[in-house]
Amino acid sequence: MKIYKFGGASVKDAEGVRNVLKVLEANGHGSKVIVISAMGKITNALEEVVNAYLSTGKYTEALQPVKEFHLNILQQLFPKKEEPVYAKVKNYFEELENFIQHNRSQQYDYVYDQVVIYGELLSTTIVSEFLTAEGYGNDWLDARNCIKTDSTYRDAQVQWPETQAAIINLVKRDHVTITQGFIGTDSNNFSTTLGREGSDYTAGIFAYCLNADSVTIWKDVPGVLNADPRVFEKPRLLEQISYEEAIELAFYGASVIHPKTLQPLQRKEIPLYVRSFLNPENDGTAVKKGQPISPKIPCFIVKKNQVLISLSALDFSFIIEENISHIFSLFHKYQIKVDLIQNSAISFSVCVDNKFNNLEKLINQLKATFRVTYNTGVSLYTIRHFDDAAIRELEKDKKILLKQTTRETVQIIATP
């Protein structure tokens, strides 16, 4: 049993869907679970539907481009309008609109999860029907029947015993199964999501529960690179890395692998391969137990749109354990992800990710106890396996707000 994952870039248009078939045919018809994300930027588009609905009560204008996008792909892949896939796609949009019309909740995270899951349901239905039409047999499986979670909407935590039992029961051995990344259900049968880019994590969950031979993530890059090609010039391919190294890179913000993906794979020593769907004949990157990073070169990571918060006590007393405990309880309350910490006797600085848009609430709470200064829109740069030349190059033409160095890693918070 092998697990494949195709992201949104790999199925962003009709040609991408056709290419998925080419990749699968080149790798045989053996037992596989194929996890597929929403097409292209559809998750972003569905977020706009949520925003429009909750802010104005009107959503049809935001939803129309989503309908047209999928219809355009359908028309290219299925010239005959009588194909069953047209009715299936139409039914999903009717389900989505029915939810919005009858929903009474104004809780953003809940509404978000009930809406954005349709991106994955639509993409997997289209891909599954296309593969079937082309003679590549497969079973379509609703991941919500498999991935059981708590009710932390937008960042749901997996309930492992229930999830493993469901996956073992529903995934047929010696078959090809098409399923969705990113989505699950809670105990009330409401849809949940595992966090943005969580499709990699879904692949890891299926691999763990099925004792898979390997996981392959098919990307639009050659493999794991030492830098994001959208930000840094001339990145180099890392041919092999260990689980630990991959976890470090993912934690610091390397977007090629979701941070949670490696943990279930590491527990059962399931190899992970990151390969290019544009050049599937290439080996890409292998992530395995105990593999030293090769080549060992500086790895550059950047997380943009971060917030640097600096705190000091109102009476200039020391920042002690009790203060820090209170601060972190607020981070937890407002779902603020901490990326870097630095403290002195009377001050405490932290770089955070405000992905749930709770910064204003957090700051107001902190001001009751601390002097607070903060900078929004900063970038957090990380260099793993740094050298002096790498640091000099990164710091060039930037205003450095904070710098922290450990044995293998240097982190810099800067504005352009």
Asked if 335 contacts 156 with a C-beta cutoff of 8 angstroms, the reply is no
- 377 annotated ligand-binding residue: no
Distance, CA of 406 to CA of 2 (rounded, Å) = 38
- 8 annotated ligand-binding residue: yes
Residue with tokens 């204008």: 61
Distance, CA of 174 to CA of 176 (rounded, Å) = 7
Asked if 210 contacts 267 with a C-beta cutoff of 8 angstroms, the reply is no
Distance, CA of 351 to CA of 212 (rounded, Å) = 37
- 94 annotated ligand-binding residue: no
Distance, CA of 147 to CA of 166 (rounded, Å) = 8
Q: Other C-beta atoms within 10 Å of 357: how many?
A: 10
Tokens read off for 258: 């979701």
Tokens read off for 118: 């349709």
Q: How many CA atoms lie within 13 A of 50 on its CB side?
A: 22
Residue 268, burial from CB neighbour count under 10 angstroms (0-12, 13-18, 19+): exposed
- 5 annotated ligand-binding residue: yes
Residue with tokens 């040609």: 15
Q: Is the peptide bond before 295 cis (omega within 30 degrees of 0)?
A: yes
- 43 annotated ligand-binding residue: yes
Among 125, 120, 135, which Cα is nearest to 89's? 125
Asked if 257 contacts 247 with a C-beta cutoff of 8 angstroms, the reply is no
Residue with tokens 């603020």: 336
- 198 annotated ligand-binding residue: no
Report the SS3 class of residue 288.
strand
- 7 annotated ligand-binding residue: yes
Among 380, 356, 246, which Cα is nearest to 301's? 380
Q: Which residues are annotated as a binding site?
A: 5-8, 43, 120, 230
Q: Which residues are annotated as a binding site for ATP?
A: 5-8, 230
Q: Which residues are annotated as a binding site for substrate?
A: 43, 120
